[in-house]
Amino acid sequence: MRKGCLLIICAICLMATGLWAGVKTELDGVIYGNELVFNQPQFAFWDSGRQRLYIVDSLNNRLVSFNSQYKYISEFTAGGKLNLPIAMVRDDKGRIVVSCAGDHKVYVIYLKEKKILPLDFSAYHQRVIPYRLAFYDGYLYVVDKGKKCIFIFEPKAGGYSLKKWIKEKAAGIDDIKVRNGHLYVLDSLLKRVFIYSPMGNFERVIKLKGVVSPVSLDVDERGTLYVLDKVKGKIILFNPNGEMVGKFGKLGWKEGRFYYPQYLLLSGTGKIFVVDTGNGRVQVFDLH
Protein backbone atom coordinates (compact mmCIF):
# COMPACT_ATOMS: atom_id res chain seq x y z
CA MET A 1 0.00 0.00 0.00
CA ARG A 2 2.79 2.38 1.02
CA LYS A 3 4.80 1.45 -2.08
CA GLY A 4 1.78 2.16 -4.26
CA CYS A 5 1.31 5.59 -2.70
CA LEU A 6 5.00 6.39 -3.13
CA LEU A 7 4.87 5.39 -6.79
CA ILE A 8 1.84 7.63 -7.40
CA ILE A 9 3.52 10.58 -5.63
CA CYS A 10 6.71 10.04 -7.68
CA ALA A 11 4.67 9.93 -10.90
CA ILE A 12 2.88 13.19 -10.00
CA CYS A 13 6.21 14.88 -9.19
CA LEU A 14 7.73 13.69 -12.47
CA MET A 15 4.75 14.93 -14.43
CA ALA A 16 4.88 18.29 -12.69
CA THR A 17 8.53 18.78 -13.51
CA GLY A 18 8.10 17.66 -17.10
CA LEU A 19 10.47 14.71 -16.68
CA TRP A 20 7.65 12.25 -17.36
CA ALA A 21 8.10 12.63 -21.09
CA GLY A 22 11.87 12.98 -20.87
CA VAL A 23 11.83 16.78 -21.17
CA LYS A 24 12.47 19.25 -18.39
CA THR A 25 11.68 22.86 -19.14
CA GLU A 26 11.33 26.00 -17.11
CA LEU A 27 9.53 29.18 -18.09
CA ASP A 28 12.22 31.83 -18.45
CA GLY A 29 10.22 34.80 -19.69
CA VAL A 30 6.97 35.98 -21.21
CA ILE A 31 6.85 38.86 -23.69
CA TYR A 32 3.59 40.69 -24.35
CA GLY A 33 4.97 43.63 -26.36
CA ASN A 34 5.67 47.15 -25.11
CA GLU A 35 2.97 49.75 -24.36
CA LEU A 36 1.23 48.30 -27.35
CA VAL A 37 0.56 44.60 -26.77
CA PHE A 38 1.09 42.12 -29.60
CA ASN A 39 -1.79 41.48 -31.95
CA GLN A 40 -1.47 38.06 -33.61
CA PRO A 41 2.32 37.67 -33.40
CA GLN A 42 3.42 35.16 -36.03
CA PHE A 43 7.19 34.74 -36.04
CA ALA A 44 10.34 35.11 -33.95
CA PHE A 45 13.93 35.51 -35.04
CA TRP A 46 16.94 35.20 -32.73
CA ASP A 47 20.03 37.15 -33.81
CA SER A 48 22.78 35.35 -31.91
CA GLY A 49 25.44 37.86 -32.99
CA ARG A 50 23.60 40.88 -31.62
CA GLN A 51 21.85 38.87 -28.88
CA ARG A 52 18.53 40.26 -30.01
CA LEU A 53 15.09 38.75 -30.35
CA TYR A 54 12.84 40.04 -33.12
CA ILE A 55 9.09 39.42 -33.02
CA VAL A 56 6.85 39.82 -36.07
CA ASP A 57 3.70 41.50 -34.72
CA SER A 58 1.45 40.93 -37.73
CA LEU A 59 -1.75 42.87 -37.12
CA ASN A 60 0.19 45.83 -35.69
CA ASN A 61 2.29 45.81 -38.90
CA ARG A 62 5.62 46.04 -37.07
CA LEU A 63 8.78 44.21 -36.09
CA VAL A 64 9.68 44.53 -32.40
CA SER A 65 13.14 43.87 -30.97
CA PHE A 66 14.09 42.78 -27.44
CA ASN A 67 17.41 42.20 -25.71
CA SER A 68 18.58 38.91 -24.22
CA GLN A 69 16.78 39.81 -20.97
CA TYR A 70 13.57 40.21 -23.04
CA LYS A 71 13.48 43.98 -22.44
CA TYR A 72 11.97 46.06 -25.21
CA ILE A 73 14.51 47.86 -27.43
CA SER A 74 12.66 49.28 -30.42
CA GLU A 75 10.04 48.73 -33.07
CA PHE A 76 10.30 48.99 -36.83
CA THR A 77 7.47 49.66 -39.29
CA ALA A 78 9.50 50.53 -42.40
CA GLY A 79 7.66 53.81 -42.63
CA GLY A 80 4.29 52.06 -42.70
CA LYS A 81 5.25 49.88 -45.68
CA LEU A 82 4.86 46.58 -43.86
CA ASN A 83 1.48 45.13 -44.76
CA LEU A 84 0.67 42.14 -42.53
CA PRO A 85 4.26 40.93 -42.00
CA ILE A 86 4.39 37.19 -41.27
CA ALA A 87 8.08 36.31 -41.20
CA MET A 88 11.52 37.95 -41.08
CA VAL A 89 15.21 37.19 -41.00
CA ARG A 90 18.27 39.39 -40.51
CA ASP A 91 21.07 38.39 -42.88
CA ASP A 92 24.84 38.46 -42.40
CA LYS A 93 25.04 41.93 -43.98
CA GLY A 94 22.62 43.37 -41.42
CA ARG A 95 19.72 43.63 -43.91
CA ILE A 96 16.23 42.71 -42.76
CA VAL A 97 14.14 40.49 -45.04
CA VAL A 98 10.38 40.50 -44.36
CA SER A 99 7.59 38.56 -46.04
CA CYS A 100 4.17 40.22 -46.02
CA ALA A 101 0.78 38.52 -46.37
CA GLY A 102 -0.98 41.78 -47.17
CA ASP A 103 0.65 42.31 -50.56
CA HIS A 104 2.22 38.87 -51.07
CA LYS A 105 5.71 40.34 -51.31
CA VAL A 106 9.12 39.82 -49.71
CA TYR A 107 10.99 43.03 -48.93
CA VAL A 108 14.72 43.43 -48.43
CA ILE A 109 15.27 46.36 -46.07
CA TYR A 110 18.67 48.08 -46.33
CA LEU A 111 18.88 49.80 -42.95
CA LYS A 112 22.07 51.80 -43.59
CA GLU A 113 20.97 52.99 -47.02
CA LYS A 114 17.39 53.46 -45.77
CA LYS A 115 15.83 51.78 -48.77
CA ILE A 116 13.36 48.95 -49.27
CA LEU A 117 13.34 46.71 -52.35
CA PRO A 118 11.02 43.82 -53.13
CA LEU A 119 12.64 40.43 -53.76
CA ASP A 120 12.65 39.61 -57.47
CA PHE A 121 10.68 36.45 -58.36
CA SER A 122 10.41 37.34 -62.06
CA ALA A 123 12.57 34.36 -63.10
CA TYR A 124 9.77 32.13 -61.82
CA HIS A 125 7.16 33.80 -64.10
CA GLN A 126 4.26 33.01 -61.76
CA ARG A 127 2.42 34.58 -58.87
CA VAL A 128 3.97 33.82 -55.49
CA ILE A 129 2.37 33.69 -52.04
CA PRO A 130 5.45 34.06 -49.79
CA TYR A 131 5.30 32.71 -46.27
CA ARG A 132 8.10 31.70 -43.88
CA LEU A 133 11.78 32.56 -44.37
CA ALA A 134 15.13 31.08 -43.38
CA PHE A 135 18.71 32.24 -43.79
CA TYR A 136 21.79 29.99 -43.94
CA ASP A 137 25.35 30.54 -45.09
CA GLY A 138 24.51 33.58 -47.21
CA TYR A 139 21.49 31.90 -48.85
CA LEU A 140 17.91 33.03 -48.34
CA TYR A 141 15.07 30.47 -48.33
CA VAL A 142 11.47 31.54 -49.02
CA VAL A 143 8.39 29.30 -48.72
CA ASP A 144 5.76 29.83 -51.43
CA LYS A 145 2.45 28.60 -50.03
CA GLY A 146 0.67 29.07 -53.33
CA LYS A 147 2.81 26.72 -55.40
CA LYS A 148 3.95 24.74 -52.37
CA CYS A 149 7.62 25.14 -53.15
CA ILE A 150 10.76 26.62 -51.62
CA PHE A 151 12.83 29.28 -53.37
CA ILE A 152 16.55 29.47 -52.76
CA PHE A 153 18.12 32.90 -53.32
CA GLU A 154 21.87 33.29 -53.61
CA PRO A 155 23.73 36.44 -52.61
CA LYS A 156 24.62 38.87 -55.39
CA ALA A 157 26.09 42.35 -55.29
CA GLY A 158 23.75 44.42 -53.16
CA GLY A 159 20.98 41.85 -52.86
CA TYR A 160 19.71 38.40 -53.81
CA SER A 161 19.00 36.57 -57.05
CA LEU A 162 16.84 33.49 -57.48
CA LYS A 163 19.06 30.42 -57.79
CA LYS A 164 16.52 27.57 -57.85
CA TRP A 165 13.27 26.30 -56.40
CA ILE A 166 12.38 22.98 -54.83
CA LYS A 167 9.01 21.53 -55.71
CA GLU A 168 8.05 18.21 -54.17
CA LYS A 169 4.74 16.54 -53.38
CA ALA A 170 4.07 18.78 -50.42
CA ALA A 171 0.44 19.65 -49.64
CA GLY A 172 0.96 22.51 -47.25
CA ILE A 173 4.44 23.71 -46.30
CA ASP A 174 4.20 25.43 -42.94
CA ASP A 175 7.77 25.86 -41.81
CA ILE A 176 11.40 25.53 -42.89
CA LYS A 177 14.62 25.52 -40.89
CA VAL A 178 18.22 25.01 -41.98
CA ARG A 179 20.08 23.24 -39.20
CA ASN A 180 23.14 20.98 -38.97
CA GLY A 181 23.73 21.23 -42.73
CA HIS A 182 20.22 20.11 -43.71
CA LEU A 183 17.07 21.88 -44.87
CA TYR A 184 14.05 20.68 -42.85
CA VAL A 185 10.61 21.25 -44.40
CA LEU A 186 7.44 20.70 -42.35
CA ASP A 187 4.34 19.66 -44.28
CA SER A 188 1.40 20.25 -41.94
CA LEU A 189 -1.21 18.45 -44.05
CA LEU A 190 0.77 15.32 -44.80
CA LYS A 191 2.28 15.47 -41.27
CA ARG A 192 5.76 14.83 -42.62
CA VAL A 193 9.17 16.44 -42.44
CA PHE A 194 11.06 16.44 -45.73
CA ILE A 195 14.82 16.71 -45.37
CA TYR A 196 16.98 18.19 -48.14
CA SER A 197 20.55 19.30 -48.50
CA PRO A 198 20.92 23.09 -48.18
CA MET A 199 21.00 23.25 -52.00
CA GLY A 200 17.70 21.40 -52.27
CA ASN A 201 18.67 17.79 -52.99
CA PHE A 202 16.16 15.44 -51.40
CA GLU A 203 17.59 13.23 -48.65
CA ARG A 204 14.75 11.58 -46.72
CA VAL A 205 11.34 12.02 -45.16
CA ILE A 206 10.16 11.57 -41.57
CA LYS A 207 6.53 10.70 -40.80
CA LEU A 208 5.22 12.42 -37.68
CA LYS A 209 3.01 10.17 -35.58
CA GLY A 210 0.81 11.43 -32.78
CA VAL A 211 0.47 15.00 -34.03
CA VAL A 212 -2.83 16.69 -34.97
CA SER A 213 -1.88 20.02 -36.47
CA PRO A 214 1.88 20.60 -36.69
CA VAL A 215 2.66 24.23 -37.61
CA SER A 216 6.31 24.76 -36.82
CA LEU A 217 9.51 22.85 -36.22
CA ASP A 218 13.10 23.26 -35.16
CA VAL A 219 16.06 20.92 -34.79
CA ASP A 220 18.76 20.83 -32.11
CA GLU A 221 22.40 19.92 -32.58
CA ARG A 222 21.67 16.21 -31.87
CA GLY A 223 19.12 16.11 -34.69
CA THR A 224 16.11 15.97 -32.35
CA LEU A 225 13.04 17.46 -34.03
CA TYR A 226 10.89 19.83 -31.98
CA VAL A 227 7.42 19.99 -33.54
CA LEU A 228 4.82 22.50 -32.39
CA ASP A 229 1.23 21.20 -32.49
CA LYS A 230 -1.15 24.16 -32.41
CA VAL A 231 -4.34 22.24 -31.68
CA LYS A 232 -2.83 20.13 -28.90
CA GLY A 233 -0.87 23.10 -27.53
CA LYS A 234 2.20 20.90 -27.18
CA ILE A 235 5.79 20.66 -28.35
CA ILE A 236 6.50 17.08 -29.37
CA LEU A 237 10.06 15.78 -29.71
CA PHE A 238 11.09 13.19 -32.29
CA ASN A 239 14.48 11.52 -32.68
CA PRO A 240 16.15 11.55 -36.14
CA ASN A 241 14.38 8.25 -36.93
CA GLY A 242 10.98 9.85 -36.37
CA GLU A 243 10.23 8.13 -33.05
CA MET A 244 8.54 10.27 -30.43
CA VAL A 245 10.90 10.79 -27.53
CA GLY A 246 9.07 13.33 -25.41
CA LYS A 247 6.62 16.18 -25.22
CA PHE A 248 5.76 19.15 -23.09
CA GLY A 249 3.27 22.01 -22.90
CA LYS A 250 -0.44 22.18 -22.31
CA LEU A 251 -3.40 23.93 -23.90
CA GLY A 252 -4.51 26.95 -21.89
CA TRP A 253 -4.39 30.67 -21.21
CA LYS A 254 -2.17 31.02 -18.14
CA GLU A 255 1.54 31.69 -18.52
CA GLY A 256 3.40 28.52 -19.44
CA ARG A 257 0.47 27.24 -21.49
CA PHE A 258 -0.29 27.63 -25.19
CA TYR A 259 -3.42 28.61 -27.09
CA TYR A 260 -3.09 28.07 -30.82
CA PRO A 261 0.67 28.83 -30.97
CA GLN A 262 2.09 29.38 -34.46
CA TYR A 263 5.86 29.33 -34.30
CA LEU A 264 8.74 27.62 -32.53
CA LEU A 265 12.40 28.60 -32.44
CA LEU A 266 15.46 27.16 -30.71
CA SER A 267 18.13 29.72 -29.89
CA GLY A 268 20.99 27.24 -29.95
CA THR A 269 21.83 28.17 -26.35
CA GLY A 270 19.17 26.06 -24.66
CA LYS A 271 16.25 28.45 -25.04
CA ILE A 272 12.96 27.71 -26.78
CA PHE A 273 10.89 30.61 -28.08
CA VAL A 274 7.21 29.83 -28.66
CA VAL A 275 5.07 32.41 -30.44
CA ASP A 276 1.81 31.83 -28.59
CA THR A 277 -0.44 33.59 -31.11
CA GLY A 278 -3.80 32.81 -29.48
CA ASN A 279 -2.61 34.32 -26.22
CA GLY A 280 -0.87 37.23 -27.99
CA ARG A 281 2.57 36.63 -26.44
CA VAL A 282 5.94 34.99 -26.86
CA GLN A 283 7.03 32.55 -24.17
CA VAL A 284 10.65 31.61 -23.55
CA PHE A 285 11.57 28.29 -21.97
CA ASP A 286 14.88 27.07 -20.61
CA LEU A 287 15.57 23.57 -21.85
CA HIS A 288 17.55 21.46 -19.41
- CB of 103 or CB of 203, closer to another protein: 103
Q: Does 202 bind another protein (CB under 8 A)?
A: no
Q: Does 77 bind another protein (CB under 8 A)?
A: no
**Residue window 174-193: x/- pattern of binding to another protein, with contact defined by CB under 8 A:** --------------xx----
Question: What values do phi and psi take at 93, rounded to 5?
Answer: -95, 5
Q: How many helices (H) and strands (E) does the chain have?
A: 1, 24
Distance in angstroms (rounded) separating the CA atoms of residues 159 and 255: 41
Least distance to another protein, CB of residue 48, Å: 27
Q: Does 124 bind another protein (CB under 8 A)?
A: no
Q: Does 260 bind another protein (CB under 8 A)?
A: yes
Distance in angstroms (rounded) separating the CA atoms of residues 200 and 46: 24
Q: Does 280 bind another protein (CB under 8 A)?
A: yes
Q: Does 253 bind another protein (CB under 8 A)?
A: yes
Residue by residue, DSSP assigns 164-175 as: EEEE-S-S-EEE
Question: What values do phi and psi take at 21, rounded to 5?
Answer: -100, 15
Q: Which residue stretch of 101-109, 218-226, 236-244, 264-272 sits at the interface with another protein (rule: CB under 8 A)?
A: 101-109
b/e map 181-220, b = 16+ CB within 10 Å: ebbbbbbbebbbbbbbeeebeeeeebebeebeebbbbbbb
Of 42, 53, 217, 246, the one binding another protein (CB under 8 A) is: 42
- Interface with another protein by CB under 8 A: which residues? 32, 37, 40, 42, 58-59, 84, 86, 101-104, 126-127, 129, 131, 145-148, 171-172, 188-189, 212-213, 231, 253-255, 259-260, 277-281
